[in-house]
Structure 1
Amino acid sequence: MSDVRIGVQPGDGIVAHVGSGVLLVLPGGSEAMTDALLTVLSQTCGDSAAPGRTLSRRIAGHLVQADPDVVPPFAALAPSERGWAVILHGPVEVRIAWPSGEERLFGRDAATWVDRILDDAFDAITVGSDEAAAPEVDERLDLTAGIVPGSGLVLSRAGVPAVPGPSAPGTSAPAGRASPAAAVRSEVAEDAPTLLRPIPQPEPVAQPALLPSPPVPPAPTATPAPVATAEPAGPVDSEEDIPFESISLFDIDGSSARAPLPILGTDAAEEPESDEPEGTIVDGILCERGHFNHPFALYCSSCGVSTVHRTRTTVKGPRPTLGVVVTDDGTTYTLDADYIVGREPEREPSVQSGHVRLLKLQDPERSISRVHAEIRLLDWDVFIVDRGSANGTFVAARDEVSWKRLPAGKPEKVMPGTRVAFGRRVMTYDTHHQA
C-alpha cells in the first residue's frame, strides 16, 4: 500500500497495519476476540495485494459464532479487486471523503455487522468511535507497519493532506510561538507510540493458478421444432412454465361455504411450554465457561478459550450455526437451517411449509434451475445435493483449480473453503468451528 498513508490518533484502543490491511479495535469485548481479529488480519493480508473480500469473509466467520458480548467495537479495511472492502461492528464510524462529498457508515446500523465494497476513487477514509469527534492526526506521522495504541485513524492518499481537525475561527498563533495544536503534534511526534506486540509473519504460500469458470454442459439435445430461425445455444431451463388456468367464480355453490374459523384463545387449549432446548440436538463439549462446541474443537468458538486440556466428555446440546455461505456478490447466509437453492426456490413445498429456507439466486442468463440444489446440515457437517438441475452443480475444494460435478440426488460433504457453482453463480462455504 505504497500509495496510501495511515495516520493514527493516540488513544487506548489498537491500530494495526499489516501488509495491505488496516484494523482499528476500540476498548471493549474480550482480549481473546481482539487477538483473533489481529490473527485474521496477519494471516490474510501479509502477502496478498487485494485481500479485502477474503478478510471480510473470514472476520464474518468469527463473528457469526461469537457471543456478541465478547466482540469489541472494530473496523477493518483492505483493498480488493474492485475497490476497498470495509467491515465494521459496534459503535464505530467510518467516514469516506469523496471528491463529490462525504459518506458515513455506522456499525450500530446493523444487528450483526456492516460490510461494503468502496470505490477506489476516495480521497481519505477516517475511522473512529461514533461517540467522539472525528480523529485528528499529525500529517507527518505514517504507520507503515505494526501495532500501536490508538483511538482512530485516517487513511489518505500519499501526497494528499489528511483531513484537518476543527479549529476556532479567527485564531492564529503569535509570531515566533507555536500554536497549542502544533505543540500537541510535536509531543506526539517526539513520543511516537511503540509496538505493543510483534506481528507474526505468515509463511509464504504458493498462489494457485486462476480458477477457470465453472464448466457449463451443453444443452440436452431434443427434436428440433420447425422454426424459421434457430435460437442461440446456451444454458437450458429443465422446467416448463406452468400454464395459467382461470375458473369462474359464479359457478361456486354458496351452500357449501365453510363455517367461520374460531377465534384464537377461546376454545383451543394452550400448548404446554417445553423444557427441551430449541434447535437440532447434537453431541459436543463445553468450554470452561459453559459454551457448547464441536466435539473436537481446539478452542471455544464463542470466547476463544482453549479446550485442549478439557476432558473430552460429550454432552447433548442445541447445535450452533455451522458457519456461513457467501455468494459471489457478497451476500452472506447463516448456516443454521437447511436451504433450497435456485432461481425460484419458493415453489418448493418444503419452503412453502416453512421446514426449509430459500436461497434465491438472481440469474438473468437462466443457467440456474428453479429448484437447483439443497444445502443440508447433518450433525456438525454440511452437505450439498444437486436436485437434477439442467446445468449441474459443481464443487472445488480450497486451493483446487479443477471442478467436480455432483451426481444428482447424492449428498456431497463439503469442507470449509469449498466453492460451489450453481450454473454461472458461485458461493463459498466457511466456518469458525475448528475440528
Structure 2
Amino acid sequence: MDRQVEVVAGGHALSRVAGAVILVAHRERGRLTPESRAVTAVRALGDLVADATELSPDGPGRWIARQATRWLMKDAERISPGEPIDFGILSAADTGGLAIFLHGSVTAVLAGTVVEYYRGSDAAFTVDRVAAPPARAAALFIDESRQELFGHHQRQPELPERGIGSLIEGLAPAAGAVVWFEGESVVSRTPVRAVRPRPAEPPPPTAAFDAERDPEPEPLPVDPDLIPTRTSNRIPASLAAVASDPVTEDIPVDLHRAPTEMAGSSETSGTNPAPKPDPDLQRRLEATAKATALTAKVLGFKCARAHPSDPRAAFCTVCGMPVDQTQHVSEVIRPPLGMLVLDDGMTFMLAADAVVGRDPELSEPARAGLLPLRIDDSSGGMSRAHAEIRLVNWDVTIVDRGSTNGTRVRPPGYRDWIRLQPNQPFTLIPGAEIMLGNRVLRLEPVAPPPFG
C-alpha cells in the first residue's frame, strides 16, 4: 500500500513491511524492548508478510491470511507460551481492496462515508476480511483493556487528526497506526528479497468462494483397511437426498460474490449481518481444544518431524512433509482436522466435537460436552442446535439433528446441494461446503500443501 502510515503514540509494537502494516500488543510488564515478545512476534510476522509479497506482489492479502493462521497454530505458542498474541495486519488484496486480518484484542477502523469497526475479540479465532478501500482512512488499534472488551461498554477508538509523520519501513512503538487514503499516494520501499522456488498453492478462503480462482482439491484415495474403527457402522454406505423443503429451497445464496461487493456491509447492514459471537467463546474454544488434544488418541503414522498424521494420506496432516507409508500404525494424539470457514471469513478450528446453530449454548449436545459454535442467521432457516460436527478417527463428519429446514452439503466439484438425512452422519472432505439456513461454511485443511 503506497499510502501515508501515521503512528499513534503508545507502547505496543508497530511495523511496516512491503507496504503492509503490522501491529502487535505488548502485554508484558515494563516498557517495550528489543527482547520483548511483541517485538519478536512483529518481526516474525514481518518475515511472513515479505514472503507473501514475493508470491503476490500486487495483493498479498490472501497469502498473508493463510500464512498468519498457520503461524498462530504452529509458532505463536513458542514466542508467548500460555499467553495469546493479539495482533492485526492491514495489506493490499489482489482484488484492489484492503485485506484485514485480526486476532485477539485488536480493532480495525474503516473511515469513509460511514465508520466501520472490526474487532478481533468478536471472532471465534480470527477475522479475515476483504474491504473496499475507505474514502478517508483505515486504522489498527490495540484494545488496552481486555476486561472492558468482555463487558457491555466498549469504547470505540477514534481517528486522530492527520499529521505530517509517515512510517515508510521498519519498527516503532505505537498504540495504533492510521493508513490515510485521502490525498496523494506516497512512495513506500519494498525490500528486495531473493525469490525462492515454492510449490504451487491454492489461494486461501475468503468471504466469497470463487470456484474458478480457488479450484477444488482432488479427494484423497481412501483405503478402508488402513484404520480399524469401531464406529464405522455409523457411516451409511450411501446417502440419498430426500424431498426438498419448500421453506428453504428458494433461499438465495450467492457463493460467488466478489469480495469488493461484500466488503462494504457493516455488522448491522444487509439482510444477513455478520455474526457477533459471545466474547467468552474464544477462551472456551482454546480450553476445549487443549483438553481434547490431550485425550483424543487414534491410530496413525508420524512424519519425519514426528508429527501425528492420517495414515491414509501421503503427506503429513500437520506440516505437509511426506510420510513413510511402510511404517506400522501406532497410537498418536490427533491434531486438529481442519478449519470451518464461514462465508464472512470467520474461522472455527476443528479440534473437538461441536454443535452448530443460532443458539446452541444451552442445547443438549452442549450440556453433554460438545463445543457450541453460534452462527447468526437472519433468514429464520437455522435451528437453535442445527447440526453436529463429529470427529471420527481422522474423518470430519456432520450430522443434521432433525432440524426443521434441513442441512445441505455440496462436495467439491459438485454443482448441486445434497440434503442430509436427519441423524445420519456424512463424511466431509476438504473443499466441501455446508449450508445451514442462509449461511455457508467451507471445510479447509490445516496443513500446508505438500512439499515438492
TM-score normalized by the length of structure 2: 0.52
Q: For 2:422 and 2:372, how far apart are their aligned partners in 1?
A: 19
Task: Give 1:421's aligned residue.
Answer: 435
Q: 1:407 matched to which residue of 2?
A: 421
Look up the SS of the partner of 1:278 in the other structure. helix
Residues 1:282 and 2:298 are matched in the alignment: yes
Whether 1:336 and 2:360 are equivalent positions in the alignment is no
State how far apart, in whole Å, the 2-side matches of 1:326 and 1:429 are.
6
- Partner Cα separation in structure 2 for residue 204 and residue 195 of structure 1: 25
User: 2:124·2:348 contact (CA, 8 Å) conserved in 1?
Assistant: no
Bigger radius of gyration among the two: 1
Q: Aligned pair in 2 of structure 1 residues 135, 339: CA closer, same or farther (>3 Å)?
A: farther
Residue in structure 1 matched with residue 221 of structure 2 by the alignment:
none
Q: Which of 128, 136, 141 is residue 166 of structure 2 equivalent to?
A: 136
Aligned to 1:380: 394
* Residue type of the alignment partner of 1:160: E
Q: Confirm or deny that 1:120 pairs with 2:147.
A: no
Distance verdict in 2 for CA 1:373–1:112, change over 3 Å: closer
Residue 5 (1) aligns with residue 7 (2): no
Deviation at 1:118, TM superposition (A): 5.7
Deviation at 1:360? 2.9
Secondary structure, counterpart of 1:345 in structure 2: coil
Structure 2: give runs of 5+ residues left out of the alignment. 7-13, 24-37, 80-84, 144-163, 204-209, 215-242, 252-291
Residues 1:195 and 2:192 aligned together = yes
Give the match's secondary structure for 2:192. coil
Counterpart CA distance in 2 for 1:111 and 1:367 is 22
2:111–2:134 CA contact under 8 A, matched in 1 = yes
Say whether the 8 Å CA contact 2:295–2:333 is kept in structure 1.
yes
Change (3 A) 1:424 1:13: closer
Q: Percent identity?
A: 29
Aligned with residue 219 of structure 1, among 246, 253, 256: 246
Q: 1:288 to 1:397 in 2, by over 3 A?
A: same
Q: Is the 8 A contact 1:55 1:78 kept in 2?
A: no
Q: Give CA deviations for 1:394-413 in whole Å, capped at 9, x if unaligned.
A: 22244654323223333222
- CA drift of 1:393 comes to 1.6
CA distance in 1, matches of 2:74, 2:401: 33
Letter in 1 for 2:446: H
**Equivalent runs, 1:105-254 vs 2, <5 Å:** 120-125=133-138, 136-137=166-167, 150-151=170-171, 156-157=180-181, 159-160=183-184, 195-198=192-195, 208=211, 217-219=244-246
My pick for the range that moved more, 98-107 or 283-292, is 98-107
- Deviation per residue, 1:100-121 (Å, 9 max, x gap): 9999999899996565666632
Counterpart for residue 315 of structure 1: 330
Over aligned residue pairs, what C-alpha RMSD do you find? 5.6
Contact 1:325 1:335 in 2 (8 A): yes
1:68 corresponding residue in structure 2: 76
| In structure 1, distance between residues paired with 2:102 and 2:92 | 12
What SS class does the counterpart of residue 62 from structure 1 fall into? Answer: helix
Per mean C-alpha deviation after superposition, the further-off stretch among 65-74 and 277-286 is 65-74
CA distance in 1, matches of 2:103, 2:385: 35
Once the two structures are superposed, what CA deviation does each residue of 1:239-297 show, in whole Å capped at 9, x if it has no partner? xxxxxxxxxxxxxxxxxxxxxxxxxxxxxxxxxxxxx9832101334455554444446
Contact persistence 1:6–1:155 (CA under 8 A):
yes
1:325 and 2:340 correspond: yes
Q: Partner of 2:134: helix, strand, or coil?
A: coil
TM-score normalized by structure 1? 0.53
- How far the C-alpha of 1:427 sits from its partner, in A, is 1.3
8 A Cα contact 2:399 2:425, kept in partner = yes
C-alpha distance after superposition, 1:312-361 (max 9, x if no partner)? 4543222122222122244332211112223443464232232x122233
1:393 to 2:423 alignment: no
C-alpha change, 1:332 and 1:114, in structure 2 (3 Å) is closer
Letter of the aligned partner of 1:136 in structure 2? S
SS at match of 1:5: coil
Q: Which amino acid aligns with 1:318?
A: I
Going from structure 1 to structure 2, the CA distance change for 1:349 and 1:319 (only over 3 Å counts) comes to same
- The aligned residue for residue 298 of structure 1 is 315
Question: Quick one: structure 1 residues 391 and 210, their matched pair in 2 at CA, closer, same or farther if it must change by over 3 Å?
Answer: farther
Deviation at 1:68, TM superposition (A): 2.1
Q: Write the distance in 2 (CA, Å) between the matches of 1:109 and 1:402.
A: 33
Change (3 A) 1:349 1:8: closer
CA distance in 1, matches of 2:46, 2:317: 14
| Deviation at residue 128 of structure 1 after TM alignment | 11
Q: Secondary structure at the match of 2:195?
A: coil
**Matched residue count:** 324
Please give the secondary structure, in 2, of the residue aligned with 1:395. strand
Contact 2:52 2:64 in 1 (8 A): no
Distance across 2 between alignment mates of 1:90 and 1:389? 33
